[in-house]
């Protein structure tokens, strides 16, 4: 039962921010600094739940690499998380820093095809 509840919480956490703020006003995608975003992703501890490659895990947090969330959805989740993630208020992560992290996540390399990893091929 707990695993089902966790899956529902993760699904809500991913879908709810995509709706964005009331009134349908979208914050335009920011022009951020991906290098600073990479530093901030590590310094603020994002990697601890979402992984160094933004790959995420069922038990810790959703995948963030190459996120399809709009910036306002991302910022909403950052400020008002729908799950056990701690809220990152503007005093902790400014909108500019959030924009840098967002740009970093959007430009991350696509995950490798599992079939291209020899160790994984050996187990099939």
Residue ranges of the domains in the chain? 2-21+32-109
Q: Indicate the pLDDT class of residue 4, thresholds 50, 70 and 90.
A: very low
| DSSP states along 48-67 | HHH-TTS--BTTTB---TT-
Which tens digits make up the pLDDT trace of 22-37? 445 666 767 899 999 9
- DSSP state, 88? -
Per the model's pLDDT, the better-predicted residue between 33 and 84 turns out to be: 33
Span 4-28, average pLDDT: 50
Sign of CA dihedral 76, 33, 44, 109: positive
Q: Does domain 2-21+32-109 have CATH number 1.10.760.10?
A: yes
pTM of the model: 0.71
Q: Indicate the pLDDT class of residue 11, thresholds 50, 70 and 90.
A: very low
Q: Could you tell me which of 25, 10, 26, 32 has the C-alpha nearest to residue 81?
A: 10
């Amino acid at each position: 039962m707990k695993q089902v509840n966790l899956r529902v919480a993760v699904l809500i956490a991913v879908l709810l921010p995509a709706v964005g703020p009331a009134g349908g006003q979208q914050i335009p995608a920011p022009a951020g600094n991906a290098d600073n975003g990479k530093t901030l992703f590590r310094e603020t501890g994002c990697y601890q739940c979402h992984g160094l490659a933004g790959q995420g895990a069922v038990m810790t947090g959703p995948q963030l690499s190459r996120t399809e969330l709009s910036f306002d959805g991302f910022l909403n989740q950052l400020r008002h998380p729908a799950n056990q993630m701690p809220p990152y208020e503007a005093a902790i992560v400014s909108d500019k820093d959030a924009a840098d992290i967002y740009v970093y996540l959007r430009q991350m390399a696509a995950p490798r095809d599992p079939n291209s990893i020899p160790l994984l091929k050996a187990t099939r």
